[in-house]
Structure 1
Amino acid sequence: MKFRSKIDRFFISVIFISLLLISIVFLIPLILTGRPSILDIIVVVGLYAFTAGMILWTGFFQHYELCQDYLYIKGGPFSSRIFYGDLTRVRATRDISTGYRVLSSRDALEIYYRTGSWGSVKISPRDKELFLSELDKRCSHLFIQNSPQIDSK
């Protein structure tokens, strides 16, 4: 079962500001150089398009898929496969500034697991209750931590 990421206004604001800053960093020097060569223009515009594209792809094209044996997390060019046996607990979180995260909302879940260098991943499925219900069906040993936003087992 596939779940899309929830997108909130805060995240859209962060993406917009990032794109604005990247535009300034790439395009202002090009304008201030006077008469840039065609090669300069092609290189700068190409790098700008690549950078902006990566931000948009990573930010807006995220999904989480509950497969037969594992949770598949995809955000732009990045993906993770976490086997259900490695999962330990889930809790609601609004801290999206630290750790490994593939999300686009402050209304998020932090999933802890035994493998991986970070030990947890933060995601933001649109329908958290359905996501948790389906995850519980596949991973009955998982501890869903009490939280005002999540019903516990």
Structure 2
Amino acid sequence: MRPSLALASRLANIQLTLFTRANCGLCDVAKARIGEFLTKNDNNNKGTIKNENKDENNSKSKSSRVVHYAEIDIMDPAHSKWRDVYEFDVPVLHVDRSGAGKLGEPSQDFVPTLDAARKLMHRFTAQEVENAVVEVEQQQKQRGSGSDSASASSL
């Protein structure tokens, strides 16, 4: 059975983007905390988790949240823009509401920006990642219901 378009439009599409670099101990810890969140999210919400770095899909029946995850190595010459911004601040996690493509898939043209809905820097826990995701989801719901008072928080 295929999910309906109405169901897909109700799913919260969340994009997690970790800005990292090689030989970064804090980055390794951050990846572990994100992994804990993704595992918990998969178990609790039965959502689809797509790791865009490994081209793997762990699909189960969708509930309320679809999380897409990507890592950006700021030392890669192709990402010099991000090196200029975050060279001395990694790890940095951007939590955004991603543009949804067909049936909850991420839009192919999603590009992280400096004004992410929520950012976590240096040290964070799986619970802090969860809290940031919930905050972004709530901001989206407020905007969707016509509330102009909702503002994106940036750290």
Which range, TM-score by smaller chain?
under 0.3
Q: TM-score, normalised by structure 2?
A: 0.27
Question: Which structure: greater strand fraction?
Answer: 1
Q: TM-score, normalised by structure 1?
A: 0.27
* Greater RCO, 1 or 2 (C-alpha within 8 Å, sep 6+): 2
